[in-house]
Structure 1
Amino acid sequence: MTKRVPFTGGEKESLYVALDRHRDAVLWKLEGLDDEQLRRPITPSGTNLLGLLKHLGGVELGWFCETFGRETGPLPFDLDEDEESDLRVAPHESTADILTFYARARAAADLVIEELDLEDRGRSWFGEEVTLRWVLIHMATETARHAGHLDILRELIDGRTGDHNRG
């Protein structure tokens, strides 16, 4: 069952569900594909499904954990060395590795969301103070944006479209 933002829910619950339903859509876009399909570069820049999932895991850890002074654990990329490394899947990284990384990032972000209030403040990577509310809004839109990219890539691979299984 696809999650629905509650029509009369509280602000924090509504923002969380908005993010979480897009996270679920992202994972659904990868279901049923083999490793070659998940890694296949679809655009001239090399964008692929698994690379977008790796990126989303990285931004979840960055925005929810780093911003609020929490540990991220090991990252499978080094943005200082290569600013696009979070979008690429190295040959030694398995599909399972990237799925596990995304699950770990999601769980770490959920813990921050659970523990903090919407007004709690952290420091962004670019130095500005931000609230948990702002981070939730930003991540819901970021995840939705990339879910749209994943939808287009998936359609180009096998014709499957949509944001959840309707069957």
Structure 2
Amino acid sequence: MTSPLSTASEKTAGEKRVLVAALERQRQAVLWKLEDLDDERLRRPLVPSGTSLLGIAKHLASVEHGWFGRTFGRANEEVPEQALAEDPHAEWRIHPWETTEGVLAYYARARAASDAVVSELKLTDRGTTRGGDAVSLRWVLVHMTEETARHAGHADVLRELLDGRTGDRPGA
């Protein structure tokens, strides 16, 4: 896996390309943390909050759908409001009927839907948050990069607890 910011041309690209590459690098770090683990270890909570590697992927899919989909008026498949009202941590929980393949497919669909929104809009285009605030695509890209990087760090710790693997990419 190469870093999305690995070539000289990408390091000097325009603002939108740099922002997209930064988000993609963090997404890839999360996905790498999930590689080569069986279902039991992906679901295993290793900290008191109950966070698991698969739960991180499910949460990130939900927030991508929210920030890129709902904010910019695009159809999405985020966790329903009623489910969150009943269980504020629903987007983190992996239920027995959810498969690893299903959760990873959900995250892939969320990334693809987000990428479509980003490709359609300008950085200055505005959307509306769940709370009613106006935000630009630029702000959402930065926010999602922060959110994904934060959880990539959590995934790094969880993976290290499982089998000692550290770093944000192979060979790092």
The separation in 1 between residues aligned to 2:121 and 2:49, in whole angstroms, is 38
The separation in 2 between residues aligned to 1:56 and 1:68, in whole angstroms, is 17
Matched, 1:25 2:25: no
Aligned length: 167
- Taking structure 2 as the reference length, the TM-score comes to 0.93
Q: Match for 1:103: what amino acid?
A: A
Contact 2:62 2:78 in 1 (8 A): no
Stretches (4+) displaced over 6 A: none
Contact 2:60 2:148 in 1 (8 A): yes
Name the CA shift for 1:154/1:114 in 2 (closer, same or farther; >3 Å): same
1:80 aligned counterpart, secondary structure:
helix
The separation in 1 between residues aligned to 2:51 and 2:38, in whole angstroms, is 16
The percentage of aligned residue pairs carrying the same residue is 57
- Deviation of the 1:74 alpha carbon: 6.1
Compute the RMSD of aligned alpha carbons. Answer: 1.5
- Counterpart for residue 5 of structure 2: 4
In the TM superposition, 1:79-90 aligns within 5 A as: 79-90=84-95
C-alpha distance after superposition, 1:86-121 (max 9, x if no partner): 011000000001000000000000000000000000
In the TM superposition, 1:124-143 aligns within 5 A as: 124-143=129-148
Match among 154, 160, 163 for residue 158 of structure 1: 163
Matched, 1:93 2:98: yes
Contact 1:76 1:86 in 2 (8 A): no
The separation in 2 between residues aligned to 1:159 and 1:100, in whole angstroms, is 26
- Counterpart for residue 50 of structure 1: 54
Matched, 1:64 2:71: no
Match among 13, 18, 23 for residue 14 of structure 1: 18
C-alpha distance after superposition, 1:101-159 (max 9, x if no partner): 00000000000000000000000011100000000000001000000000000000000
- Taking structure 1 as the reference length, the TM-score comes to 0.96
- Deviation of the 1:49 alpha carbon: 0.3
- Deviation of the 1:34 alpha carbon: 0.2
C-alpha distance after superposition, 1:31-84 (max 9, x if no partner): 000000000010011111000100000000000000000000364882122111
Q: Which runs of 5+ in 2 are unaligned?
A: none
Q: Match for 1:117: what amino acid?
A: K
2:91 aligned counterpart, secondary structure:
helix
